[in-house]
Homo-oligomer: A and B are copies of this chain.
């Protein structure tokens, strides 16, 4: 048929494609006469088409082989669409309440057909910029993170189940590598991709590159995986060597240190533009960076982006709305998210303690006291991981390549810079001092203190 090899689809070719796919055309009653098709992608990577008529609707996610926000100059495998589909299916299975249904996947075309999240669903980040409260957000995100992280970890899985599942994702190294560069490296060195609100933050960007203690902490976050990354690569190489294809595959094997900490199947990009929300609904989308990695990377992404939203509010305040009450709601959401996550996650752990999970052998961790010790340490380490990753992700959004609408939408550069600087200083403090925080309430206090 006409789509036996990849080509970028646009409005007309897209309709021809849909006609050729019953799973999609049936969703719109096979009626192409009054079809509404609109490209709405505003993410960094993909093209997103809304397709709807009176009979029904769906969304098409179409990956092109480069980073959309940068252009063809930054090549990016369209295979990411395969991992996005894998993750949507797996996370949908574990937490159907908060993951949209997938109707169709075409690996050749790097194309996913899935539920259209109808209005009033909007991207959470836009809601945060608009000052809209979402009373169920913390509850929903805690639920999503607790279920998707616990059930894909060795706390629940046997090592053989785990290794089989990790295996599926280890081909997603190119996106891991992108993350590693833009999150852990570029912001701390001179890079052509870095940008910031100049001239206001020129000094701050430079100070970041000269902050030794900060760079020590970034090395620590990165080195949790760095030491191991080569074995990930290596073992890929090894099995290939064994099978005599080493040279063939060698060039396609990429550096991805933090694919190494295969703690759980993480979303990999869980910021506030990766969920669409209404007052009643929270739907997590765009898991194209999904891989088996550190849980704290997901939790930190969500909390860090809520803190960015908080810091941006003064830039959106006006006579009609000083945003003071809204800032309080964001702080409450930050606190509730962690506390609810911790509660749900440990409840799942306790419930499945005598299950098949092999992280802590029951023969050794065989009494309530040691089980409590182990769980307490695990959650404390996860909290500090989350703070570290969250802070690193805040920093990179202010001085790195990809910025956030929370700040970008503040037209007045001076005012924007003031908000960004506050967020930057806060992130630096959290990154350096993260081990001193014993609970999320202390983070909320730190955020308040930072303003006064």
Contacts and interface: CB of A to CB of B under 8 A. Distances in A.
Contacts of A163: 230-231, 233-234, 237, 253
B373 A226 contact: no
Interface in A314-361: 359-361
Interface in A212-270: 212-213, 215-216, 218-220, 223, 226-243, 245, 249, 253, 255, 259-263
A361 B237 contact: no
A219 B360 contact: yes
A178 interface: no
A370 B245 contact: no
Given A189-B361, A216-B373, A259 B231 contact: yes
Most chain B CB within a 10 A radius of its CB, from A234, A249, A255, A359: A234
A171 B223 CA distance: 24
A170 interface: yes
B219 A170 contact: no
Contacts of A87: none
Interface in A263-289: 263
A349 to B, nearest CB: 14
B166 A226 contact: no
Contacts of A165: 234
Contact of A263 (B227, B238, B364, B377): B227
Given A185-B364, A262-B227, A363-B189, A235 B373 contact: no
A261 B227 contact: yes
A91 interface: no
A170 B359 contact: no
30 contacts: A154-B227, A159-B255, A163-B230, A163-B253, A164-B237, A166-B233, A166-B234, A167-B233, A167-B238, A167-B241, A168-B241, A170-B235, A170-B238, A171-B242, A190-B363, A212-B367, A212-B369, A213-B373, A219-B374, A223-B359, A228-B231, A228-B260, A231-B262, A232-B232, A235-B235, A235-B236, A236-B239, A239-B249, A240-B243, A260-B260
Given A159-B229, A171-B242, A223-B359, 5 more contacts: A163-B234, A189-B361, A210-B367, A228-B228, A235-B239
